[in-house]
DNA sequence: GATGCGCTTTAAATGC
DNA sequence: GCATTTAAAGCGCATC
């Protein structure tokens, strides 16, 4: 049992698995960064791209609602709506 | 002279000033957090509020341009425009 | 209520307060930058200064952190924590 | 060119690639979470595990950091760095 | 349900 | 000006 007997092997196994997964995860993060960099070099606005990607994650209703609230608040503070 | 003679006093003076300013800055950050918290309690969407505030920092032309690019990208990926 | 009736005045009030606070906060950030700039002009290494300041701010937490590390290693090895 | 002609296809390609990579990245994040969960179920303290893993990852940089600190203090005190 | 902590992401600063 | 590195902010989880 882990708590008292002290399963050193088990702990090391868990930790190894996590370290490995995190390594792969970091590699993907680097890939993503690279794609953004490439897109930027092609002339795209990466800031807007990031926003678009986050909007894509929303389901349709949520997106509409978010847009609606933003329109409302924009009007309230005197900003033009797109 | 700082580099060779070693102006310990001067260094400490600079550091003290910075620490003091950072303390005040942190206090303002806390105040801001509190206002957001109050707004949230009143029923406002703080995420949208943050966006509105960042949009307010832009000058008019920049805002229009950002909106235009976003519309373009939205259309390109099949998202509805607000 | 904010969502339906839509308290435009309340929203503007919150946003005004935040914008004001952020303005002051930014002013302090600028002041800090200026001090660093002045220090740099006097011959100090600002990177080192930043490091020292962060170390100074960590001083208090440092002991706690050392204690925490000991504690966690004890736990990891199955020893009781004090 | 992206800005005027507007390469819709290119944009969609970039975004698709990023979305795909982020999906994989999220899958790995979920895997990691699952391993922690399993470890927890086996009786390990996940907080401690996280701490240990972060310490393991810092091991390499640690020496460098120690050297850097010595270096910065030397500079602060006016001593030449090696 | 609230609070704190860690992670992720985003903005800024510096050096090339 | 661009790219890297570092600080700040926001977010979400986990705990109490």
Q: Helices (H) and strands (E) in chain A — how many of each? A: 3, 0
Q: How far is the CA of B47 from the C1' of F12 (A)?
A: 15
Q: How far is the CA of D20 from the C1' of F1 (A)?
A: 31
Q: Which residue of A has its CA nearest to D2?
A: A43
The answer to whether the beta carbons of residues A59 and B43 sit under 8 Å apart is: no
Q: Would you say the C-beta of B29 is within 7 Å of strand F?
A: yes
Measured to protein CB atoms, the chain E nucleotides within 7 Å are: 6-11, 13-15
pLDDT of residue C72: 81
Query: What average pLDDT does range D7-12 have in this prediction?
Result: 94
The answer to whether the beta carbons of residues B33 and B26 sit under 8 Å apart is: no
The answer to whether the beta carbons of residues C12 and A78 sit under 8 Å apart is: no
Give the long-range contacts of residues C22-25, CB within 8 A, separation 24 or more: C22/B28, C22/B32, C22/B53, C24/B28, C25/B25, C25/B28, C25/B29, C25/B32
Alpha carbon A8 to its chain centroid, in Å, reads 34
pLDDT in tens, D31-78: 999 999 999 999 999 998 998 898 888 777 777 777 878 888 888 888
What percent of chain A has a predicted confidence (pLDDT) above 70? Answer: 93
pLDDT band at C1 (very low <50, low <70, confident <90, very high): very low
Contact list, D36 vs chain A (CB under 8 Å): 14, 18
Query: For an interface test with D, which of C43, C46, C48 has the most D Cβ atoms less than 10 Å from its Cβ?
Result: C48
How many C-beta neighbours within 10 Å does residue A20 have? 14
CA–CA separation, B65 vs C6, rounded Å?
28
pLDDT in tens, C10-51: 999 999 999 999 999 999 999 999 999 999 988 888 988 888
pLDDT of residue D72: 81
Query: Is-above-0.85 flag for pTM?
Result: yes
CA–CA separation, C29 vs C48, rounded Å?
19
pLDDT of residue C6: 79
pLDDT of residue D64: 75
Alpha carbon C63 to its chain centroid, in Å, reads 19
pLDDT of residue C3: 47
Judge: B56–C25 Cβ closer than 8 Å, yes or no.
no
Q: Does C17 contact B at CB distance below 8 Å?
A: yes
Residue C54 corresponds to which tokens in the numbers above? 């962060």
């Amino acid at each position: 049992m882990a708590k008292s007997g002290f399963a050193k092997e088990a702990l090391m196994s868990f930790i190894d698995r996590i370290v490995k997964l995190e390594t792969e995860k970091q590699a993907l993060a680097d890939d993503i960064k690279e794609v953004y960099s490439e897109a930027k070099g092609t002339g795209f606005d990466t800031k807007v791209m990031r926003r678009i990607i986050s909007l894509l994650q929303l389901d349709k209703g949520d997106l509409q609602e978010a847009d609606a609230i933003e329109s409302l608040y924009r009007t309230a503070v005197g900003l033009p709506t797109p």
